[in-house]
Structure 1
Amino acid sequence: MKPVSASPLPQSFWPISPRHLYAMLIPAILLLAGFAALAAAIAWGGPRDIAALDSVNTPFAGVDFSQLPPVQRYTARDGTALAWYGYAPVAAAGAEPLRRVVLIHGSSSRARSTHVLAQALAASGYAVAALDMRGHGESGPRGQAAYVGQMDDDLEDFLRAVPHAGPQTLMGFSAGGGFALRIAGGPLQGLFDRYVLLAPFLHQNAPTARPDTGGWAAVGVPRLMALTLLNQLGIAWWNHLPVLGFALDEASRAGLTPHYSYTVASNFRPRGDYLSDIRNARGHICIVAGQEDELFHAERYAGLFAQAGKSVSVTLVPGVNHIGLTLNALAVRTIAHACQG
């Protein structure tokens, strides 16, 4: 018998041609590679460790905290007890009713870091409420918040829990100044009639920003970009991971916040379109900064706000650096005067 030779299957036998199969596989491979890159960015793309920045860490060693008021607490809408410190006015500031200054600390910090400034404001006749913002000091787990916008809600909850009959100023330093701008340009802007921004952080790409915030902050760019993409898709599962680290020394790490989660880093600042916050801001706004600020280009604030269509008063205090703005005697007197308008 003659052996039967195997013959190749006709091309029409294959449900998908090899060329079409390759065309389908390539996008799938690219998609898998994209998922792998995204996973790697989330897992290993966090902020790097950076050297301590002495100009931020050391000035507080000489501060007298013996007159720090006792910590008080209010309950936020999620049931968390958040901390704040009250400073009673020493003398009347002028026309009644009494003005209250709600004081917001800077990045990584806490309310007690504003003690010298708060005392100066109280001595000028203002009631002062210095807040430990959520994720800082004694207000919840450090560096964490449940959602972007929770810190805005906390501020509104404070004003309801600790009401004040007179006018109110929101004053923020550094990242706290950026947060104050966020409030001024958002739906809660009517809660205050004045906003005082002290050397405010506006945006990492703003003309006022120095590289790495003058050595103070390290951003985990891969993780930040990955989480931003996921949040645009409505996925917030990994928002608790750190994306921002600060140049703290060992002595400071115990009381301050070494890292910010994606949530806190996105909330404790202006919105991503910070120019819209400037344009949308209502109420009287003024800026005070140190002429020798090493974290930001203080001389650029006035021009940036003017380009955004917002004319604001900008005062630069000579011989004063970033932290010195809240500690230097001339600086705190200048800030107290800025509250008066």
Structure 2
Amino acid sequence: MNHRHRMLIALLSVSLPLLGLALAIIFGGPSRPAPMGSINDPFKSVDFSDLPPISTFQAPDGQLLAYREYAPTAAQSTGSVTLVHGSSASSNSMHPMAKALAAAGHRVYALDIRGHGASGIKGQIGFIGQLESDLEAFVQAVHPPAPATLAGFSSGGGFVLRFAASEHRSRFNSYLLLSPFISQDAPNQRPDSGGWANVGVPRIVGLVMLNALGVHTFNHLPVTRFALNDKARSFLTPEYGFNLAMNFRPLSDFEANIRSVDRPCAIVAGTDDEAFYTNKLESIVRSAGKDWPVQLLPEIGHIPLTLEPTALDASVRQVRKLHHAA
């Protein structure tokens, strides 16, 4: 083999992987899934006429981020609950649950996580880890009364699980996971979250490789799109860039994430959940060595977990138990 042939082979060995990486990033993004009625439709019956106004706090980068505050309406006030909405949503979606918790005597805060609602640019955050910094800034600015519980629904539950294992974990006394997203590799994961999300896996793989090399230039590109109807797309977050998708979830090693949680934690989900196999949640938790209570509510679907009176009552009871255990 002459020198020219060796140079050609060396050039191809470098250029072909780079070409594959470029093609994965350019063409490997998510498609738009068909609207999912069981996610879009239930909110049509929710009364938002008494929705509290938006308040704001300043994040470390100076961005004003939004939340809604619910004063306790019971005669006796006991602690607080901070609510984190699910993927694509905003604080509005947690309105019925916030009212139920306030009626039980808790001061409640419903957040617009950065990249959602009135917090920043929809679908985008500046870097992976920014959401933890934002939540730390919220606690420092607002000082939720103790005992303080952080509760999250769906992807928000996954982020709460992430936060509960982080260096900021002591900011809350306990944690409540409502039908949480655990991982795309976890036993409870339905394909495409039951049709709710389409993920551009080739693009994610390509961006993970670039990020490992310290290249973050393309992290704004969408990697996840949600099954929203046209009306919902106009006010919710229809897609996530790479940074948000990687941050608004548990750590990649979800079992280690669960093992690292050292504060009281509980899980509530419905047996008829369309996004996850909720009957596998308890075995996931037990395999990680945790004895957290896992309550499955009969005939409750994914979104109804945050809307149906029986489901709201179950969450209120779990918060009460967590406050006693903290």
> One-letter code of the match for 1:232?
A
CA deviation vs aligned residue, 1:111-159 (integer Å, no higher than 9, x gap) = 0001001000000111000000000000010000000000100000001
Which residue of 2 is the match for residue 332 of structure 1? Answer: 312
1:10-21 → structure 2 map (5 Å cutoff):
18-21=1-4
Q: 1:161-240 residue pairs with structure 2 within 5 A?
A: 161-240=141-220
- Choose from 267, 273, 283 the match for 2:253: 273
Contact in 2 for aligned 1:197/1:286 (Cα 8 Å): yes
Q: Is the radius of gyration larger for structure 1 or structure 2?
A: 1
Describe the SS at the equivalent of 1:203: coil
Matched, 1:302 2:282: yes
1:250 to 230, 238, 251: 230
Which 4+ runs in 1 deviate beyond 2 A?
18-25
Matched, 1:50 2:50: no
| Letter matched to residue 156 of structure 1 | E
Aligned partners of 1:40 and 1:302: how far apart in 2?
40
Q: Could you tell me which amino acid in structure 1 is paired with residue 24 of structure 2? A: A
Matched with 1:320 is 300
Q: CA–CA distance in 1 between the matches of 2:145 and 2:313?
A: 25
* Secondary structure in structure 2 of the residue aligned to 1:282: coil
Amino acid at match of 2:70: Y
Tell me the CA shift for residue 27 of structure 1: 2.8
How far the C-alpha of 1:232 sits from its partner, in A, is 1.1
Deviation per residue, 1:33-71 (Å, 9 max, x gap): 111111111112110111000000000011000010011
**Offset of residue 92 of structure 1:** 4.6
Structure 1 gap segments, 5+ residues each: 1-17
Matched, 1:123 2:83: no
2: CA distance, partners of 1:196 / 1:302 = 14
- The equivalent residue for 1:59 is 42
Compute the TM-score of the two structures, normalised by the length of structure 1: 0.92
Structure 1 Cα separation of the partners of residues 168 and 275 of structure 2: 28
Structure 1 residues 28 and 91, CA gap change in structure 2 (3 angstroms): same
Does the CA contact (< 8 Å) of 2:267 and 2:293 recur in 1? Answer: yes
Q: Residue 303 and residue 93 in structure 1: after superposition, are their counterparts in 2 closer, same or farther (change >3 A)?
A: farther
Looking at structure 1, the residues matched to 7 and 173 of structure 2 have their Cα atoms a distance apart, in angstroms, of 60
Q: Is 1:289 the equivalent of 2:289?
A: no
Residues 106 and 175, structure 1, Cα contact 8 Å, conserved in 2: yes
Alignment counterpart, residue 128 of structure 2, candidates 142, 148, 162: 148
Contact in 1 for aligned 2:146/2:173 (Cα 8 Å): no
Corresponding residue for residue 72 of structure 1:
55
Amino acid at match of 1:266: M
Alignment RMSD, CA only? 1.1
Counterparts of 1:71-90 in structure 2, within 5 Å, are 71-90=54-73
CA distance, structure 1, for counterparts of residue 68 and residue 50 of structure 2: 11
- Structure 1 residues 93 and 268: CA distance shift in structure 2, 3 A: farther
Gaps of 5+ in 2: 322-326
Contact 2:162–2:257 (8 Å) recurs in 1: yes
The answer to whether 1:107 aligns with 2:117 is: no
Offset from partner CA, 1:177-198 (integer Å, 9 cap, x none): 0000001111111111110000
Matches of 2:266 and 2:157 in 1, distance apart? 11
Note the alpha carbon deviations across 1:165-188, whole angstroms, 9 max, x for none: 422100000000000000111111
State whether residues 80 and 145 of structure 2, in contact with CA within 8 Å, keep that contact through their aligned partners in structure 1. no
1:40 equivalent in structure 2: 23
Distance 2:182 2:210 in 1: 24
Separation in 2, partners of 1:117, 1:299? 23
Q: Which moved more, 1:28-37 or 1:275-284?
A: 28-37
Q: Residues 260-306 of structure 1: CA distance to partner in whole angstroms, max 9, x if unpaired?
A: 00000000000111111100001101000011001001111110110
Structure 2 CA distance for aligned equivalents of residues 296 and 273 of structure 1: 18
Contact 2:80–2:106 (CA under 8 A) maintained in structure 1: yes
| Matched position secondary structure for 1:86 | strand
Kindly indicate whether the alpha-carbon contact (under 8 Å) linking 1:92 and 1:126 is maintained by their aligned counterparts in 2. Answer: no
> 8 Å contact 1:108–1:257 — kept in the other structure?
yes
Deviation by residue 1:74-129 (Cα, 9 ceiling, x = unmatched): 111101011100000011557xxx31101000000000001001000000111000
Deviation at 1:25, TM superposition (A): 2.2
| SS, match of residue 206 in structure 2 | helix
